[in-house]
Amino acid sequence: MVLRAALLGLFLWLCSIMAFRVWGEIFYEAGTLGPAILFSLAAPASAGLTWALVRLLRVSPGDEAEASVGLAFPGMVLNAFVLPSFGSVFPLLDPTLDGEFGGATLIASAAMIFTGLMLTRLSPQDERI
């Protein structure tokens, strides 16, 4: 299940990178509201996407957190390689927007993991302190 979620997360990351490579200047233009709008939409959109994908993957009850980590992890790791070469990966974007892009992707990944944690229903013996 985690492997399926990670492969799906890799596919999502690839789709999002390609979308920003082609249409990124719509969201990221220095001095506009695009980055602020993207920051405000990153968490709710990622949370909704995670909820839908956990349902689509038919994750067993109690494994939602693991699935959400599987969805978020490939993007978190691969963005660490994309950000140092931001100008090369996204030639249509201003290279100084790498921080905004990194912040938005980190917020999106955190929202995915948090959503998985909130969806997880632990059995009573797992809730011991």
> Does residue 107 lie in a domain region?
yes
CA distance linking residue 18 with residue 33, whole number of Å:
22
> Does residue 91 lie in a domain region?
yes
> Does residue 52 lie in a domain region?
yes
Look at residue 125 in the predicted model and tell me its pLDDT.
59
Note the pTM of the prediction, 2 decimals. 0.84
Number of domains the chain is built from: 1
The region of weakest confidence among 18-22, 65-69, 73-77 is: 18-22
Look at residue 35 in the predicted model and tell me its pLDDT.
73
Q: Predicted confidence band at 34 (pLDDT cuts at 50, 70, 90)?
A: confident
> Does residue 81 lie in a domain region?
yes
Look at residue 93 in the predicted model and tell me its pLDDT.
85
pLDDT at 62 over 90: no
- How crowded is the C-beta side of 33, counted as CA atoms within 13 Å? 3
CA distance linking residue 101 with residue 78, whole number of Å:
13
Residue 7 CB: number of other CB atoms within 10 A?
13
Mean pLDDT confidence for 2-16: 93
Q: Domain range for residue 51? A: 2-10+40-120
Q: What is the pLDDT of residues 102-120, one digit of tens each?
A: 998 999 999 999 999 999 8
Look at residue 23 in the predicted model and tell me its pLDDT.
85
Look at residue 11 in the predicted model and tell me its pLDDT.
96
pLDDT at 20 over 90: no
Look at residue 122 in the predicted model and tell me its pLDDT.
63
